Structure 1
């Protein structure tokens, strides 16, 4: 379990900024993120570095400053996962970036980058 503080509240979740990030048992790289003051407010996040190796978002200097990141090695990137119209999708256009040193994070909009809001994940069947 990791405590995270958002530099700015997430859209649609009021003024909540303090969250807890927990791994989902049996699902490497999948996490639940819930608000400390409202545990029913929950999102599911996918570790982009683990599951989306071709996803290479570039955050601006202002976005890095927002989470107080000094360099790219201090930034972990997660994408919000949703079940939409019978498919599992992730939002590649607005990832959640986390400063791995300070645990300050933010959801950022990747301006000028060609990523989808609803990128469908391919589910692999067990061999």
Structure 2
């Protein structure tokens, strides 16, 4: 899967960039490279939360839903930024990227007042372990 995404405002730390290409990493369902359309050296790795974090259910404001032109939650794709490290990978659950899957409009939303960690440890998916047994 690949898509063109347009942020309604630049993601934190990436101003003035708003146009990005989302490309799935081959062989890793739900893992994507989010690369600036204007600067090929600016890239983030993001995960589809529905694949890797099925219990993750951030609540976005009506204001954000209107800005993203979302008609309902089924139209939203939630991505989380990954932070690989020597001891494992963490994901930012405090600031998901919410994408209107129909239009490509998106925003990185800071979830004020919600108890999601900024650096949550990513644990291996149990699906692959169950299939082996």
Deviation per CA, 1:48-81: give whole Å up to 9, x if none.
0111111111111011112111211111101000
Q: How far apart are residue 85 of structure 1 and its match?
A: 5.4
**Higher normalized helix content (fraction of residues):** 2
Q: How far apart are residue 18 of structure 1 and its match?
A: 0.5
Q: How far apart are residue 14 of structure 1 and its match?
A: 2.0
Provide the residue aligned with 2:79 in structure 1.
78
Q: Which moved more, 1:36-45 or 1:77-86?
A: 77-86
Question: Partners of 1:20 and 1:3 in 2: how far apart?
Answer: 5
Question: Partners of 2:30 and 2:55 in 1: how far apart?
Answer: 16
Question: Partners of 2:110 and 2:34 in 1: how far apart?
Answer: 19
- Normalising by structure 1, we get a TM-score of 0.93
Question: Partners of 2:3 and 2:9 in 1: how far apart?
Answer: 18
Q: How many residues align?
A: 127
Deviation per CA, 1:14-44: give whole Å up to 9, x if none.
2000000000011110000000100110000
Q: Which moved more, 1:62-71 or 1:43-52?
A: 62-71
**Is 1:96 the equivalent of 2:106?**
no
For 2:74, what is the secondary structure of its paired residue? Answer: helix
Question: Partners of 2:87 and 2:106 in 1: how far apart?
Answer: 30
Runs of 5+ consecutive residues of structure 2 not aligned to the other structure: none
Q: How far apart are residue 111 of structure 1 and its match?
A: 1.6
